[in-house]
């Protein structure tokens, strides 16, 4: 849905300070978001995650629309002691849109 992707590109402005996505994406303050959906949390090569994020992944946390939505709604509540300093994204529609954008970029 091109309209959703366009809306998601706008939402992604809030993520860009820390995350990249796409062919030339590199780890920055946050890990690259390529291949996000279906991936075990805390597993991008070469990114230094918090212990908490790695532990949640080892305990079975996989990124889906539902888990990304829960994480972004309340990052520190969903994964205590994770190191993403982001207030969050309260509107599920914004999460849908940003995920559509991420997937359109090869995420």
Token pair 């809030």 in the structure block, residue: 14
- Taking the C-alpha atoms of residue 40 and residue 67, their distance in angstroms, rounded to an integer, is 11
7 binds ligand HEM (CB under 6 A): no
Burial of 56 (0-12, 13-18, 19+ CB in 10 A): buried
Q: Which of 7, 8, 21, 68 binds ligand HEM (CB under 6 A)?
A: 68
Q: Say if residues 57 and 41 touch (Cβ distance below 8 Å).
A: yes
Nearer to ligand HEM, 41 or 100 (CB): 41
Nearer to ligand HEM, 24 or 53 (CB): 53
34 binds ligand HEM (CB under 6 A): no
Nearer to ligand HEM, 1 or 51 (CB): 51
- Taking the C-alpha atoms of residue 53 and residue 78, their distance in angstroms, rounded to an integer, is 10
Residues in contact with ligand HEM by CB under 6 A are 14-15, 17-19, 29-31, 36, 41-42, 44, 49-50, 52-53, 63, 68, 72, 82-86, 89, 98
């Amino acid at each position: 849905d091109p309209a959703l992707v366009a809306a998601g590109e706008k939402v992604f402005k809030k993520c860009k300070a820390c995350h990249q996505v796409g062919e030339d994406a590199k780890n920055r303050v946050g890990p690259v978001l390529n291949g996000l959906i279906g991936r075990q949390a805390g597993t991008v090569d070469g990114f230094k995650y918090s212990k908490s994020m790695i532990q949640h992944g080892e305990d079975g946390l996989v990124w889906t629309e539902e888990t990304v939505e829960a994480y972004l709604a309340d990052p520190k509540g969903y994964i205590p002691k994770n190191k993403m300093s982001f207030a969050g994204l309260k509107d599920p529609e914004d999460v849908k849109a940003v995920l559509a954008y991420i997937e359109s970029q090869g995420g």
